[in-house]
Amino acid sequence: MCFRIGNAPTAEPKFREDESLHLQKGKHIPKKCFVLVFSVLFLIMESVSEAQTPTFQTRKSEDFVIRDGIGNTMAKLRAGDEVRVAYLGGSITETHDGWRPQTTAMLSKKWPKTSIVEINAAIGATGSEIGVYRMERDVLKYAPDLLFVEFAVNDGGCSPENIWKP
């Protein structure tokens, strides 16, 4: 074993003739072990500094393509079937008197024969990076018919390099 666990050193560590790095009376690290640990840490730091970081690339702006819309959801609403509506976002979505409950109430009022099931997958102070990891567990496993995603505030301060992924 290379290291002895003890109190913090009280004096500056010094090498002695017996090939140990003395930290305190009776507590020492063998010199060979110290050199090995230092070498490993140096190699790790060197490899991290050499790792290529992705570069931000601008892309040509394109018009969005309008799909067929939310035809399946609309058909379920009109038929009076259960419609599962998921909300994924930060605190703006999480709030109990904000747009999420108002949207659910509006859908229930407009289609009173339809059972609107709200899936609240909002957590304050989270951005889309965390939302991506929560998508399967907190949203998709409930098989939503309609999904609202809002990370406007929490992603607002992110640089394009932090949001853009290759």
- Same domain? For 86 and 159 the reply is yes
* CATH number of the domain bearing residue 132: 3.40.50.1110
- Same domain? For 87 and 41 the reply is no
- Same domain? For 44 and 86 the reply is no
Residue 58 has pLDDT above 50, yes or no: yes
Both tokens of residue 138? 């907190």
- Same domain? For 126 and 83 the reply is yes
Report the distance separating Cα 76 and Cα 8, nearest Å.
67
- Same domain? For 77 and 158 the reply is yes
- Same domain? For 129 and 76 the reply is yes
Q: Which residues contact 38 (CB under 8 A, 6 or more apart)?
A: none
Q: What is the pLDDT of residue 157?
A: 75
- Same domain? For 76 and 156 the reply is yes
- Same domain? For 77 and 146 the reply is yes
Domain holding 146, by residue range, is 71-163
- Same domain? For 107 and 148 the reply is yes
Amino acid identity, position 85: V
At 20-44, the pLDDT tens digits run 444 455 555 555 555 555 566 666 6
Q: Does a structural domain hold residue 4?
A: no
- Same domain? For 85 and 153 the reply is yes
Position 162 confidence tier, pLDDT thresholds 50, 70, 90: low
Please indicate, yes or no, whether the overall pTM of this predicted structure exceeds 0.95.
no
Closest to 91 (Cα-Cα) out of 146, 137, 141, 131? 131
Q: Does a structural domain hold residue 44?
A: yes
